[in-house]
Structure 1
Amino acid sequence: MIGKTAEENRSAETPICLQGGFRLLFTGAALWALVVVALWVGALDGAWSLPTAMEPLAWHQHEMLFGYLGAVIAGFLSAAIPNWTGRPVVTGWPVAAFVGLWVAARLAVLFSAYVPPLVGTVLDVGFLLALFGYAARQIFAARNRNKPILIVLLLFAAACGLDHAAAMGFTADPAIGMRAGFALILMLIAIIGGRIIPAFTRNWLVRRGQTDGLPIMANRFDHAVLAITAIALAGWTLAPAAHLVAWLLLGAGALHAARLTRWAGLRAVADPLVFVLHVAYAWLPLGLLLLGAATPWPIVPVSSAMHALGAGAMAAMTLAVMTRATRGHTSRPLEADGATVAVYMLVNLGALLRVAAPLLPFDYMLSIRLAGGLWGGAFLLFLFIYGRMAMERPVKS
């Protein structure tokens, strides 16, 4: 019998939940999304008040952006960086400490009416800076080309701190930190989506012998789209009501719609794991168009645009990435079963209803509850299927 290596012995002794940060972070993120939506809808409905020093809407936005998405980004990087760099996966107590820091930050922010808000700020920004430190160490040690992600992480941590400062009354614009963080996430979707969506679609089509009309990979057009989007989002962050910014957002939305048509998404309908990426990305141009239209044509509510980008683009894209990454990193086949398809359908239907809620002819709160139920159902089903999957040792053949 061949003896096991020391690394294999350590892996066998480490609880499965601590073998890679993505397991607890993806699970915790999905659970927190459910909690945040439930608490926010209840507060909006007058059922209860929230124990946070933040305004309820500001807390809801902060926690979905920096709490939920912060955990998803951390989980994604914990799985992706070892692949990028060839360095070992972090396991054991560092994972527990890192996840514990994220949980402590969420609780401190939620109960900031009783815990000094500065405590939540330090924990919250500290989590993102710890993620930056881990990523920087691994990427620089391997001399990996993904150094730009470090700039985004550092700016995201700064935006988180700015949002806390705004909540404590230290900024003239109470939403500037939220908009800055929102803009950074949208740029990440535009950049990373532009890499993986055409690549995954091309690979899927080639494996099936379909070599005609393949997705167009990134070229100068894509670079121009990203540049215009960055300018538009920077303008929105600093001056959201400016008419020039509105037209830049409309232009960026139209360009992203054109970009999406170059990726042959309709040819990948047969593979939900690939097709859902196209559907999730489609929320980006829609949201940018709605956001741009909200200034010159106020009949379009800003809330609809924000939820197209948040409940639509961000939530659908993160669920698509989390399902794919969990399957890939737990040695499961990259195939979407019926439950996974249901996750994708629920999150997109919930987002659609939430975006349309202010325009529907029936009770607004009923629409919000239904949208929250559908959207939350996607995360509940993800927890049931993929939370268990992340906590189980795959059976080796």
Structure 2
Amino acid sequence: MTTPKIRAAVASLPAYVPGARIPDGVHAYKVSSNENPYPPLPSVVDTIATAASAINRYPDMGNTDISDAMSTYLTTDTHTVTPEQLVFGTGSVAVLGHILQAFVDAGDDVVYPWRSFEAYPIITAVSGGRSVHVPLTPDHRLDLDAMAEAITERTRVVLVCTPNNPTGTAVTHSQVLRFMAKVPSDVLVVLDEAYLEFVRKDDALDALAIAEQYPNVVLLRTFSKAYGLAGLRVGYCIAHPDVAAAIRAASTPFGVNLIAQAAVVASLAAVDELNERVEALVTERTRVWTALRGMGWDIPPSQANFVWFPTGARTVDLATDARQQGLLVRPFAGEGMRVTIGEPEANDLLLTLAERWITG
């Protein structure tokens, strides 16, 4: 029996490996998907419940309310963001897909660090583009100089994941400025800031300032991590109005559902409460990282809501042991493990296991 021919680019796609799920009836901590361990704020839940009564209607295709709310939130004494600069989608990964659909033709190059977010090669291939991997430095950081050197006349988009998933390292503002000075103005640079809210470092990246200076820069962000709306799937980008219009044209109509739109507006109204939770996670991250370093682990300094174990050939065995002890982590076979900062109890279990792993 013959079947329709699948596009070669799709047939050869690498599989996206989601974080492990907790089986029914099993007590375990899921720290494999970089989710926020806190439940939604009560005010957000109330808004969701109210919005649910209207799901017989289509959502606002123009995302007017969330665009206005986000524009107000992002506009400060130093930065102005207009609704025309914002594009929303079903998670930042979907928005990235729309970006590549708008700017990458078959055979065009997409440059990005590796290892980095595992959706990058998938989205690039689906768009018809060609992946150009640039290795991380030995200390698990992005090599922006090497990424600039990888740009050719075939390059259309460069992806800069900061903090980098899964290693947690982040570039500085000065590094990005030097990098942008080397990038041709007709190459789109996507600064993927899914973990922006967790960054605490000197010379931290002010991506809005970069975007104001360079119209070929797009900022990619999400409500899944710090805002705890992973189950509703809302991401967005900030871009020059002309670039945003092109991305919007490639976007799925009615992509952000009605309940998700209401939850975003409610979350922005409760951002002070949400920031308290972010600070608590940052405090836990510091506690975990400091303890791991004290044990002798060579853990890179994370600016995200996870830590990276460069465990090499031991990775799968250690991830299996963690699962057996009730901790679901995200292994990258032969490379390392990414472990989300979760509840204090989950973090304590991680430290107990990590001490056994490094001594035994």
TM-score, normalized by the shorter chain, greater than 0.5: no
TM (normalized to structure 2)?
0.26
More strand per residue: 1 or 2?
A: 2
